[in-house]
Chains A and B, each alone.
Chain A
Amino acid sequence: MKMDNDKRKILRLLCFLLSALLVTTASAAVYNYVYLQASPISAETPYIKFVSGTDANSTIGTNGTWAIITNMTGWPNATRVYEDALEIQNFDGDPHNCELMFDSWSGDMSSVLYIYVKVFNSIGGTQQGGTLSVTGGNSTGTFSLPASTTWYLQWEIKWDGAALSTYKVNVTLKLKVS
């Protein structure tokens, strides 16, 4: 009799454990799908583009959304100024907020006294926004580029007096457009 009772208890315990396992498994499997669609995500014509300047050679990427200036130089202990190194053009009928930001630089950085980038509304005109210092790693702050307008990026470069003619730096900036 006692054995029967024990077996019954063990069976009950097994049933309980099995039920618990089932409940646990079922609990872990209870979730809901909520659908989110982005339709369509379309490519649109950029309304802000880079355009080559007259002072420096530049490669402009497809659609004008990236640019590389390839031939800027400077003399040691003298300030080199490129008033029209590159241009940014608003092709839209509305103004857009822009901010030119430092991203990264590399090379013989310790021999650079400063590299400044400024935005002007015309060559030799009025500066728009603040001065981006590559050595300081800051930005121009936000400026509003008017509709159907071209503004000019001026670079100012100064190597220290001991810099050699083999020295080079690479600079990457980004233009935030909203």
Chain B
Amino acid sequence: MKVKPLIATFPYLILFVILVVSVNGSVCDNLNYQALPISCETPKVILQPGTAGTSTIYTNNTSAKVSVTAPVLTPTYYPNVLKVVNEVTEAWNISLRVYDSSNIDRLSNATISFHDGSSSDQIIVNNGNITQSEGALYNLPGSATIYISISNLQANTTDISYLYVYLKIQAPNTWAYDLFIIVFEIT
């Protein structure tokens, strides 16, 4: 006899809970945020093939693959595997950063640098380890070209190694930058 009133109140209880939950869940503000437009533009900095090793430049000159050989006995120097060309008069700061690698253990030494008179070591491999994965920002003046070199390149076995690297191109006085992908294939 006492159960019936309890059963009768059950739907009201459920309704009450739903109402409370609905009210709690609906209190919010929406702030609109637009990006109008995001446009594609012609690259202001491009990659061009070097004169040492073999380089492949991909569509729009914003990514590249560099193939070089690491001898087992004698360290080798590739003075110009790739060129970074500034197509405009404004200056940039550039650097290299390793974001992935494979089979690096076999490399005794390798140093990847920028140079155009002065030089800046960006990536260093020593005894199979990447001891420097990112270089300091280096000035790329307006309408200038700088060169990427590989020095002290030596391996202890014959095989193939890869370094996957970002070329970071940053305008002065800003946090905005572009990333080009450069793959170093070392046989």
A67 and B33 contact, CB distance less than 8 A: yes
Query: By the criterion CB–CB under 8 Å, are A77 and B62 in contact?
Result: yes
| A69 contacts B by Cβ under 8 Å | yes
Is A175 in the interface zone, CB < 8 Å from B? Answer: yes
Query: Is A168 a contact of B39 with CB atoms below 8 Å?
Result: yes
Do A170 and B62 form a contact, CB below 8 Å, given A78-B43, A79-B179?
no
Asked if A11 is an interface residue, CB under 8 A from chain B, the answer is no
**Chain B residues closer than 8 Å to A56, beta-carbon distance:** 176
Q: How large is the interface on A (under 10, 10 to 19, 20 to 34, 35 or more residues)?
A: 35 or more
Q: Are B38 and A73 in contact (CB under 8 A)?
A: yes
A55 touches B175 (CB 8 A): yes
**Which of A123, A167, A168, A170 lies in contact with B34, CB distance below 8 A?**
A170
Chain A residues, Cβ within 8 Å of B131: none
B6: interface (CB < 8 Å): no
Taking a contact as CB atoms under 8 Å apart, the answer to whether B58 and A173 are in contact is: no
Beyond A81-B178, A123-B175, whether A72 also contacts B35 by CB under 8 A is yes
CB-contact partner of B38 in A72, A76, A77, A174, under 8 A: A72
Interface residues on B, range: 20 to 34
A157 is an interface residue with CB less than 8 A from chain B: yes
**Which of the candidate stretches B8-16, B23-31, B117-125 sits at the interface with the other chain?**
B23-31
- Output the least CB separation between A60 and chain B (Å): 10
A9 to chain B, nearest CB (A): 48
- Chain A residues within 8 Å of B27, by CB: 178
Q: A155 to B35, Cβ gap below 8 A? A: yes
**Interface of B (DSSP majority class):** strand
B41 touches A75 (CB 8 A): yes
| Interface membership of A2, Cβ < 8 A | no
Q: A79 and B38: CB pair below 8 A?
A: no
Q: Which of A73-90 contact B (CB under 8 A)?
A: 73-84, 86
Q: Does B174 contact A (CB under 8 A)?
A: yes
| A78 near B180: Cβ-Cβ < 8 Å | yes
- Whether, in the assembled complex, A145 has its beta carbon less than 8 Å from a beta carbon of chain B, the answer is no
Q: Do B177 and A81 touch across chains, with their CB atoms under 8 A apart? A: yes
The CA of A27 and the CA of B1, in the complex, are separated in Å by: 36
Kindly state whether residue A137 has any CB partner on chain B within 8 Å. Answer: no
Report whether A86 and B33 are in contact in the complex, using a CB–CB cutoff of 8 Å: yes
Cβ of B74 under 8 Å from chain A: no
A22 part of interface (Cβ distance < 8 Å):
no
With known contacts A66-B33, A83-B175, A74–B59 Cβ distance under 8 A: no
Q: Say yes or no: A69-B36 contact (C-beta < 8 A), given A76-B43, A77-B58, A161-B58.
A: yes
Complex CA–CA separation, A66 to B31 (angstroms): 6
B5 within 8 A of A: no
Give the complex CA separation of A108 and B39 in angstroms.
Answer: 9
- The 8 A CB mask of B118-138 against A (1 = contact, 0 = none) is 000000000000000000000
- Nearest CB of chain B from residue A163's CB, rounded to whole Å: 4
For window 97-113 of A, CB contacts with B under 8 Å fall at: 100, 103, 107-108, 111
Which residues does chain A contribute within 8 Å of B33, judged by CB atoms?
A: 50, 66-68, 86, 100, 172-175
**A156-178: contact bitstring with B at CB < 8 Å (1 yes, 0 no)?**
01010111111111111111111
B169 CB to nearest A CB, Å: 8
Q: Which residues of A are at the interface with B, using a C-beta cutoff of 8 A?
A: 46, 48, 50, 54-56, 65-70, 72-84, 86, 100, 103, 107-108, 111, 115, 123-124, 155, 157, 159, 161-178
What are the 7 tightest A-B residue pairs by CB atom distance, in nearest-first order?
A: A161-B59, A83-B175, A168-B37, A178-B28, A75-B43, A79-B179, A167-B40
